[in-house]
Amino acid sequence: MPLKRYGADCALLVVDVQNSFCPGGELAVPGGDEVAPLINHLSLLFENVVLTQDWHPAGHISFASSHAGMRPFQSVDLPYGPQTLWPDHCVAGSPGADFHPELETAHARLIVRKGIHAKVDSYSAFVEADRATTTGLAGCLNALGVKKVWLAGLATDFCVAWSAIDARAAGFETFVVEDACRAIDINGSLIEAWAQMRQAGVKRLRSDEV
Ligand code: VGL
Ligand code: ZN
């Protein structure tokens, strides 16, 4: 194996680069497909590449279609707190849940699926929206000896931000590669997400600084 700049104690976490979040998808993030070539390039630097997939059962609680009279981007109160409602997206096994075809996936050592429980969403790749159920990712990374995590993918202000904040909470030194992410940006969500990431001690950098 060629020498990697980032070895066994580092991981690149590639968040939700899936068809549903790319142009033409059900919950398209502007420019979502543009991150794939950049992430492919970054991946060459890392011994450990982990991919996540948003992976919802049909009728998932985060879908507006599961709540009578509600529309996408409105909010409902659920037992675990407020939940933004989305168009149906990333239904397990559907084409929207597949990785974007331009994303190289062969080198990934681990694929984490999240949002798999019908009644709990999970923006975070680490802990579900009930803030209690774990995906097991922190345990895997710890078992591999990972200490530092770099994040890229979709969407900056939802799954990337929540995953980065939870990576910090799990004790990892955490970096977000800003130009290898794209945002949904509803109701000021992008500015707020960067503020929360900064407060959590997440470091922000560009791909040419990785
Ligand atoms: C995401 C909204 C709903 C994301 C996932 O990947 O950022 N956003 N589900
Ligand atoms: Zn989702």
Residue 107 burial (C-beta neighbours within 10 Å; 0-12, 13-18, 19+)? middle
Q: What's the sign of the alpha-carbon dihedral 91, 94, 96, 102?
A: positive
- Say what the pTM is: 0.97
Interval 113-148: pLDDT, tens:
999 999 999 999 999 999 999 999 999 999 999 999
ipTM reported for the complex, 2 dp:
0.98
Q: Is the CB of 54 under 6 A from ligand 1?
A: yes
CATH tag, 6-57+90-209: 3.40.50.850
Residue 154 CA, chain-centre distance (Å), reads: 6
The closest of 95, 107, 84 to 53, measured between CA atoms, is 95
Q: How confident is the model at residue 3 (pLDDT cuts 50, 70, 90)?
A: confident
Do 143 and 7 meet the contact criterion of CB atoms below 8 Å apart?
no
Q: How many CB atoms lie within 10 A of CB 139?
A: 12
Q: What is the pLDDT of residues 35-83, one digit of tens each?
A: 999 999 999 999 999 999 999 999 999 999 999 999 999 999 999 999 9
pLDDT band at 2 (very low <50, low <70, confident <90, very high): low
Q: For residue 153, give the ligand 1 atom closest to its CA.
A: 6
| Residue 63 near ligand 1, beta carbon < 6 Å | no
Q: What is the dihedral of CA 136, 137, 138, 141, to 10 degrees?
A: 130
SS3 12: strand
* Number of other residues whose CB lies within 10 A of the CB of residue 67: 15
> pLDDT tens-digit profile of 151-160?
999 999 999 9
User: Which pLDDT value is given to residue 83?
Assistant: 97
Q: Where are the domains of the chain?
A: 6-57+90-209
Assess contact for 120 and 128: CB atoms under 8 A: yes
Pocket test for ligand 1, best of 56, 86, 126, 189 (most atoms within 8 A of CB): 86
Mean pLDDT, rounded, for 167-192: 97
Q: Which residues are catalytic?
A: 16, 114, 159
Q: How much of the chain, in percent, has pLDDT values that exceed 70?
A: 99
Instruction: State the closest ligand 1 atom to the C-alpha of 86, by its place in the atom list counted from 1.
Output: 3
Cβ atoms within 10 A of the Cβ of 19, count? 22
